[in-house]
Structure 1
Amino acid sequence: MPGAEVEIVWTALSKAWRKAQYEELWLQFRPRGSKDAFEAVEAAVQMANQAVDDAGWGHDVFTAGVSDSDAGPVALMSRAGTEEGVRAWFAAFAQHLETLGKSGRVTAAPEAFFPEWLSSGQVPQQLTAYVSYQTKDLALLDEDEQRRAWHVPKALTAQIADAATSWGRFEGADVYRNIHQIRSKNPDVGAAMAAGVEKFGMAGVTYLRSEPRRFTWASMSPLGRTCYGVMDDTMSWQERLAQVTRAMTAFPSDTDLAFVRHSKALTISWGDLAGARPALPHVKEYHVRYNRHLNRQYIPDAHGIQLLTDAHLEQANDLSDWNITGLGGGKHLVEAKDLQLWYANIDPEPETLAQARADFSGMILTPEIIAKNPPPWR
């Protein structure tokens, strides 16, 4: 369209590409004039992908995961293999934006940062749901391969990501999407999260408001392990507990294990069990991490709320003092009768924890259990 002009800021793009070791590239279109450019960017991405595919670079260059941000739409070039192909993609992308009447700059996407009150580390531990979703068969992979990726079936991944955004979003929230942290007002980032976790093995979103303080987060990490958390100065612990419990029970038939405990704000992975309170009774966090195959039968510790399988319950000592609700498909929600003893404060009552560990003793992970059940990885 006459008068439309799109500038490609190659110096910034090439610097970001080099920083990513020439494997991928986060790009942003910063429009001039009207900020309504999301649909145009989606269309231009599709046209540019087709153009480089037609030119023979389709295996080397591909972009997807368009999402909004404060300064303009952002997308991930998840395959950025050759400079000639990458430059051709950007040329086709800019040309199509111009034909749609858009002007602006195509540059590297900047990272956004949390406000100081959250990033300073002063926020106390929050109620967090740890969820282990069912994966594809990992037995055919070697140890390094199975640790690096998400491994959850694609259709289920899309459902989990969409449900996470629906669960966490609230009116007036700033939206922070990572791995490359981008701030937006658009809460609909499920597709971008799903694409990100398929590519990198990790992805997440945080919905945040500073006054009054409130944030929710969902973080997906390798081996189908995900964390959901809530902090809200206006909500009681009971309301926050109910919210994280909803997240962890959204897909019971596709879940191997889930539980709620206090953990640091914005917990990104099960690796944070290393510093969570109370400490695990028999093993270290790395024992849990490296023995993913035992999630369906064993738990790292007893908790006030857990989603467990038939195989878990078969190894319990005595659950007569627990509320057990069948969720179908051999899955059960197991809850303490007095949740206040578990979740009103960061640390559960010592007597309560000791009794629970006795009740669940047969299913709590130990070094002996690990030795008897080695992982099936090649």
Structure 2
Amino acid sequence: MAVDVHWESIHEAWDANNVEFLVAFCPTGRPAARPEADLLEDFGDAADEVNVEAEERWLDHSPFIEDAADTTAGGAIALMNTAGDDGEVQACLRQLAERLTLQGWAGQVRGAPPVHPPGWATSVDAVGRALGLFLRFIPADTNDPEPRHETLSRHDLATLRDLADRWATRPATSTYLTRSMFTDIAPSHDLGAEFLQAVERHRRAGLQWIDDEHRSTTTIDLGYGTSAIFAIASRTETWHTRLDTLTRILQDLGPRLEVGLIDTANPMPISWTDLRTRPNPGSDQLNSIDDLDVAREHIPDAYGLQVLTSTHLAKAHDLSAWTITDLGNERHLVQHPDPAAWFAHQDPDPQVIAAARHDFGDIILTPERYTAILDAKRPPNPAAAAEA
């Protein structure tokens, strides 16, 4: 048993992108001495060894292999960066095959074409703005200011699986599964289980349902940390139907959220910045709600529908015109009295936003408030104290 390099597919992928291309390992045999071997772990270890040796041989201009992930076909895939000359890249691929062979695997290292949804699926002109629900689960370790999604509770993971299965019933002509930075055709069955496995094994996981006939997209994306995005874009489904779908999810998950809001978004959003479709008054440092110590006290902006904590509400200026629903666990669903003003168009009217910001008051983070928080968190400077 051995692993070889399929040079024809390598050159096809390389010719399509001479800066970086996808390299996949397609196994045909497992290590007999290690029947429990995890291919992704072995592939990642082999790639790391190749990278170390390449850097030692060619220093800063060496090729490198990065960001390994599972594939739907049962293999592994990574990004081959082609820094260095052709001979160096080829040497790295040979060494990758040799190390996989030493681990006991059989198969081929091949070039892989990128897989992605059709271009119209991410085009605002084709499908309009999406409605997106951005949320962040309460991490299992609430003392960790920047938790990873490995800290999601089993209950929250099961919820994500159930939501994936539920959304799999929406009309779709094709379905894609993203693992880390790689998109693949999704398996045709047990989609919730496959998504959950992707969540547990990769730093990012996502599902995309594409409906060519009705020009609509539905997406779930669990990004870095404990944040997730649910989004629907459609030329045929009304905005209030989409809003009702997302609102039900927000209500169900609300008690277990640090952050939760609905906003217009780019089609198929994968990050907080895709949801922000207008300048916000808050500090850029809170763009991704990375610092939970700050997020538990402030929000980056006012939105037409979002979950706020009791701590947030205590800082509000005047929310008497808004509908506030107690969700439990000190979480509250705060809704603007006119949803159409926020969600029926590409973006809400600036006057609506300005009035909402006035209502929210001190909940919204400003650069000045952020600076004051940072100053309060800094340890005292003994030298400055002595001079004083």
> TM-score, length-normalised on structure 2?
0.69
- The aligned counterpart of 1:152 is 151
8 Å contact from structure 2 (residues 217, 267) kept in 1: no
Report the more deviating stretch, 293-302 or 7-16.
7-16
- The aligned counterpart of 2:368 is 368
8 Å contact from structure 1 (residues 127, 262) kept in 2: yes
Cα offsets for 1:83-138 (capped at 9, x unmatched)? 6663366747x7xxxxxxxxxx8967653122132255634321111111112447
Change (3 A) 1:140 1:303: closer
User: CA offset at residue 285 of structure 1?
Assistant: 6.1
Report the more deviating stretch, 187-196 or 223-232.
187-196
User: CA offset at residue 332 of structure 1?
Assistant: 1.4
* Structure 1, unpaired ranges of 5+: 1-5, 30-40, 95-104
8 Å contact from structure 1 (residues 259, 303) kept in 2: yes
- The aligned counterpart of 1:193 is 195
8 Å contact from structure 1 (residues 207, 216) kept in 2: yes
Aligned to 1:112, the other structure's residue is in SS state coil
Q: What letter corresponds to residue 226 of structure 1 in structure 2?
A: A
Aligned to 1:130, the other structure's residue is in SS state strand
Cα offsets for 1:200-228 (capped at 9, x unmatched)? 42221101111121210011112212211
Cα offsets for 1:249-295 (capped at 9, x unmatched)? 3422221111111111111011335xx32211232365554433322
Match of 1:133 among 119, 132, 137: 137
> TM-score, length-normalised on structure 1?
0.71
Change (3 A) 1:28 1:376: farther
CA distance in 2, matches of 1:377, 1:153: 29
- The aligned counterpart of 1:101 is none
Residues 113-262 of structure 1 aligned to structure 2 (within 5 Å): 113-119=116-122, 122-123=125-126, 124-137=128-141, 146=146, 149-153=148-152, 155-156=154-155, 158-169=157-168, 170-178=170-178, 179-184=181-186, 186=188, 188-262=190-264
Aligned to 2:368, the other structure's residue is in SS state helix
8 Å contact from structure 1 (residues 228, 247) kept in 2: no
Report the more deviating stretch, 127-136 or 149-158.
149-158
Q: What letter corresponds to residue 135 of structure 1 in structure 2?
A: P
Give the length in aligned residue pairs: 328
CA distance in 2, matches of 1:84, 1:14: 18
Structure label with greater radius of gyration: 2
8 Å contact from structure 1 (residues 134, 152) kept in 2: no
Aligned to 1:325, the other structure's residue is in SS state strand
Aligned to 2:334, the other structure's residue is in SS state strand
CA distance in 2, matches of 1:106, 1:76: 10
User: CA offset at residue 351 of structure 1?
Assistant: 2.9
8 Å contact from structure 2 (residues 31, 37) kept in 1: no
Structure 1 position 310 matched with structure 2 position 313: no
- The aligned counterpart of 1:268 is 270
8 Å contact from structure 1 (residues 132, 295) kept in 2: no
CA distance in 2, matches of 1:152, 1:248: 20
CA distance in 2, matches of 1:173, 1:59: 33
CA distance in 1, matches of 2:150, 2:293: 13
Report the more deviating stretch, 115-124 or 262-271.
115-124
8 Å contact from structure 1 (residues 157, 194) kept in 2: no
User: CA offset at residue 248 of structure 1?
Assistant: 3.0
8 Å contact from structure 1 (residues 125, 262) kept in 2: yes
Report the more deviating stretch, 118-127 or 205-214.
118-127
8 Å contact from structure 2 (residues 43, 76) kept in 1: no
User: CA offset at residue 188 of structure 1?
Assistant: 3.5
CA distance in 1, matches of 2:211, 2:34: 36
Change (3 A) 1:297 1:48: farther
CA distance in 2, matches of 1:288, 1:278: 15
8 Å contact from structure 2 (residues 71, 77) kept in 1: no
User: CA offset at residue 369 of structure 1?
Assistant: 2.6
* Structure 2, unpaired ranges of 5+: 47-67, 79-94, 380-388
CA distance in 1, matches of 2:113, 2:156: 27
- The aligned counterpart of 2:336 is 336
Identity between Structure 1 and Structure 2 (%):
24
Change (3 A) 1:121 1:347: closer
RMSD of Structure 2 on Structure 1 (CA): 4.2
Aligned to 1:369, the other structure's residue is in SS state helix
Q: What letter corresponds to residue 259 of structure 1 in structure 2?
A: L
CA distance in 1, matches of 2:218, 2:274: 17
